[in-house]
Structure formats: structure tokens, C-alpha cells
Structure 1
Amino acid sequence: MSVLDSIGFLIATFERYAGEDGDKRTLSKPELKKLIQTELKGLIATSKPGEVDKLMDDLDHNKDKLVDFKEYMTFMAAVTMICHEFFTKQ
């Protein structure tokens, strides 16, 4: 898989979940939760009460109660860095 393929996959993943609640340019809290539970299952906990609320609050830099593409990519970059650190220490 090339870097361009990976970029395309990140864009396609965002677009697959965004818009289920209306706006295709943003992820609502339920859309974000579904994305995490499906695409990042086992990596990020979403089962305890308040976990998705906390994550949503951390990601939503402009406080519009939505995660836009820039906020999503910031999240994906952070997840990638955490995974890199974890796997290079093993």
C-alpha cells in the first residue's frame, strides 16, 4: 500500500461515516462513535459512560459539537503516533 493509498483510505473512511446524521462535512458524536467502534475496535475504549463525550470534547477544537475533517485528521495523526511508539518499543 502506498502513502497515497493510505491518504485515500483516511478520506474514504471519514466520508463513509460523515453525513449519516445529515452533514457530510462533519462527524456527529454518534457517527464518531460508530467510526471508532468499527475502524479502531480494540484500540480506543468507547464502552464506559462518558468516554465518547470526553473524546468528542477533546477533538472538537471549535466547540461546534461536531468533528470536521481537520479535527478528524488531527485525531488520526495522534492515533498513528501512539501506535508507532507502541510498536517500535516492542
Structure 2
Amino acid sequence: MAYQRSQVLEALQDLLDVFKQAAGSKDQDTNTLNQEELKQLIQSQLPFLITAKFEGCFDDFFKCMECEKGSNVDFREFMCLLATIVMCQ
């Protein structure tokens, strides 16, 4: 019997593909997004977030991330960010 992929699995794979493409855009590391890569991903994929307060909020978010684990965002952290964005809409 052939296995059919669910909508959720397809959506997660699409998110992972977008993440890896963006993560490798400025360097060869496709496992994490640096600040510039994350900002470009948000601007291209989530343009509704770009408001007058975006710069300050983005900088605050990245400062918070740097306090915890360094200057890059991994896929798990990226997914937490997306979940937060969805819940705030």
C-alpha cells in the first residue's frame, strides 16, 4: 500500500525547504539563519509583518535569541517564531 503524505507533513516540508533555501543564501550553512537571512526571509515571505515597528521588534527578537544560544536561529527556533506570529494575528 502506498503511503500518502498528509497536508501537515507537506506544509512542514515546505517550511523546511524555505528555511534551508534562506539559510544558505548568505553563507553555506543551511542549518541556521543569521540575522540578515532571517530578516530577508520575513520581508519576502511575510511582508504583512513589515510595519513602522518592524525594525525595533526584529532587533529585540534577535537580541533575545542571542542571549540564549548565539547569533543564529535554527529550524526549531524559526518554527517557534512562526507559531508566535500566527497566534498574534
The residue that corresponds to 1:33 in the other structure is 39
Kept in 2: contact 1:33–1:46 (CA 8 A):
no
The residue that corresponds to 2:14 in the other structure is 9
Give the TM-score, by structure 1 length: 0.74
Highest Rg: 1 or 2? 2
Percent of aligned pairs sharing the same letter: 34
Corresponding residue SS for 1:62: helix
- Following TM superposition, the consecutive aligned residue runs of length 4 or more in structure 1 with deviations greater than 6 angstroms are none
The amino acid across from 1:77 in the alignment is A
Alpha-carbon distance in structure 2 between the residues aligned to 1:65 and 1:46: 24
Which structure 2 residue ranges, 5 or more long, are not aligned? Answer: 1-5
The residue that corresponds to 1:87 in the other structure is none
| Shift in CA distance, 28/45, structure 1 to aligned 2, threshold 3 Å | farther
| Shift in CA distance, 60/68, structure 1 to aligned 2, threshold 3 Å | farther
Pairs aligned (count): 83
Alpha-carbon distance in structure 1 between the residues aligned to 2:31 and 2:52: 23
What is the CA RMSD across the aligned residues, in angstroms? Answer: 2.4
Kept in 2: contact 1:18–1:28 (CA 8 A):
yes
Corresponding residue SS for 1:10: helix
Which structure 1 residue ranges, 5 or more long, are not aligned? Answer: 84-90
The residue that corresponds to 1:21 in the other structure is 26
Give the TM-score, by structure 2 length: 0.74
Kept in 1: contact 2:65–2:71 (CA 8 A):
no
The amino acid across from 1:19 in the alignment is G
The residue that corresponds to 1:57 in the other structure is 63
